[in-house]
Amino acid sequence: MINNAFDVKEERKSLRQLARMYKVTKLDPAFQRMGGVNNGSGWSITHSNEYLQDLYEGFVSNTVILLLVADCLKYAEEQNDKESIVYYQDVSDEGYEYVSVDGNNSTSTIHEFVHGHPELKINGRLLEDLPPSEMDDWLSDEKLYVAILRRISIKDACDQFRKVNKQTKLNDQEHRQARWSALSMFIRNTANS
């Protein structure tokens, strides 16, 4: 599904690693939906709990897609793509290492569960009520695929976001805004100022 021209590196990451990566991953409202456990366009608590249960029972095989900021910045500089240079430099200055393209709801759910979200449960139990050693093993051993894109412009990243989210039903306005243009930027910035 992802074009190899973007220099995709696929890795398997443990749930604990994913929770750590989530903290340094930017969810960019410029083109992303405001998904995740604590945002209104993400999964409900019920969805997150269903996902955790499936993950625990081994029925989950989704791939998380991220942009690696440092490499993408280098690529933008090679290409003299000024728009992308500014974008990736800003993201880097904000302290992020990755930008989320897909899988934000799942990584957000994993991150919140690992940090003891009061409503996220497996088998009806919070993390603190589950056997610690079993949980420790599970969080270290259970892995998800992560596709890391290393050579991609911000405009192509937006297109990629729209493609991978075709199946997950962005609402009409999310779909319109997932377009890199001065118009979409003006509308977003004005509405949220």
**Contact positions toward other proteins, by CB under 8 A?**
33-34, 39-42, 171-174, 176-177, 179, 181-184, 186-188, 190-193
The per-residue b/e assignment along 84-112, b for 16 or more CB within 10 angstroms, e otherwise, is bbebbeebeeeebbbbbbbbbbbbbbbbb
Cα torsion 77, 83, 89, 95: sign: negative
| Residues sharing a CB contact under 8 Å with residue 16, sequence separation 6 or more, in sequence order | 114, 139, 140
Pick the closer one to other proteins by CB: 29 or 131: 29
Pick the closer one to other proteins by CB: 24 or 34: 34
Q: What 3-state DSSP class applies to 5?
A: helix
Q: Provide, rounded to whole angstroms, the least separation between the CB of residue 98 and other proteins.
A: 21
Q: Provide, rounded to whole angstroms, the least separation between the CB of residue 51 and other proteins.
A: 19
| Residues sharing a CB contact under 8 Å with residue 127, sequence separation 6 or more, in sequence order | 113, 114, 116, 120, 135
Strand partners, 64: 146
* Position 103, amino acid: G
Q: Provide, rounded to whole angstroms, the least separation between the CB of residue 124 and other proteins.
A: 25
The whole-angstrom separation of Cα 179 and Cα 32 is 10
Pick the closer one to other proteins by CB: 55 or 105: 105
Q: Provide, rounded to whole angstroms, the least separation between the CB of residue 12 and other proteins.
A: 31
Q: Provide, rounded to whole angstroms, the least separation between the CB of residue 145 and other proteins.
A: 27
Pick the closer one to other proteins by CB: 20 or 179: 179
159, 177, 185: which is closest to 67 by C-alpha? Answer: 159
Pick the closer one to other proteins by CB: 134 or 172: 172
